[in-house]
């Protein structure tokens, strides 16, 4: 299941960001705090948006996420999205969660 992230997801989103950085061998580069992530996603002027993938077993466990923000093309006069991160926990890969996050 894919759903829009909520403020209650901040701890797991932060953990997933750290997992992604560790996977990319760059964990020491993560300096963002949970508070910063919460402000970016749910503050008065959100700078980014996130969707989460949850386990298929009905537990509601968040197993992946997509974090994105709007961009704008002055040449085309339209906005688009920039996908900053797409991550599914390694043990949960192969079940279509990444594709579902992209489709959403």
H or E segment at 3? strand 2-4
**Mean pLDDT, residues 42-61:** 95
> How many domains is the chain built from?
1
Domain that holds residue 30: 2-103
DSSP secondary structure, 57-86, as one string: TSS--EEEEEEEEEEEETTTTEEEEEEEEE
CATH of the domain at 51: 3.40.630.30
Please give the mean pLDDT across all residues of the chain.
96
Q: Is the pLDDT of residue 58 over 90?
A: no
Is pTM beyond 0.85? Reply is: yes
Residue 2 has pLDDT above 90, yes or no: yes
């Amino acid at each position: 299941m894919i759903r829009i992230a909520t403020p209650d997801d901040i701890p797991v989103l932060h953990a997933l960001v750290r997992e992604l950085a560790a996977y990319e061998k760059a964990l020491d580069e993560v300096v963002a705090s949970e508070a910063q992530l919460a402000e970016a996603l749910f503050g008065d002027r959100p700078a980014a948006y996130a969707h989460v993938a949850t386990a298929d077993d009905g537990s509601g466990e968040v197993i992946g996420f997509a974090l994105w923000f709007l961009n704008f093309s002055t040449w085309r006069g339209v906005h688009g999205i920039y996908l900053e991160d797409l991550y599914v926990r390694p043990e949960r890969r192969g079940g279509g969660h990444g594709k579902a996050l992209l489709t959403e």
